[in-house]
Amino acid sequence: MMRITVDAASVAELRRVIVSTCGDLMIYMRVKPVDHASKMKFWLCLSKSSIDAVIGNIMRALPQAEFGRITPLLPA
């Protein structure tokens, strides 16, 4: 699980980068507005093997993105 925060105006670009980078490797994506909807927080659940590629592509496309904690999901 990876957390990312971006400006509200960057939501479409972040989604495009995520889908184009990991597509089928993404398990789910949750989006929630923060700071009176001036920013959006994303929670991405994706395979461990795609994390580096996703981070690299997001940093290139949206250098202002804020990355939070990456945590492993516990088995069900």
Question: pLDDT 10s digit of each residue in the chain, 76 long?
Answer: 999 999 999 999 999 998 898 877 888 899 999 978 899 999 999 888 888 889 999 999 999 999 999 998 777 6
pLDDT recorded at residue 33: 94
C-beta of residue 31 within 8 angstroms of C-beta of residue 5: no
User: Which H/E stretch holds residue 60?
Assistant: helix 51-61
pLDDT recorded at residue 12: 95
pLDDT recorded at residue 76: 63
Strands (E), 1-76: 2-7, 26-34, 39-46, 66-70
Main-chain dihedrals φ then ψ at residue 29, nearest 5 degrees: -135, 130
Which pair of structure tokens corresponds to residue 26? 């993404």
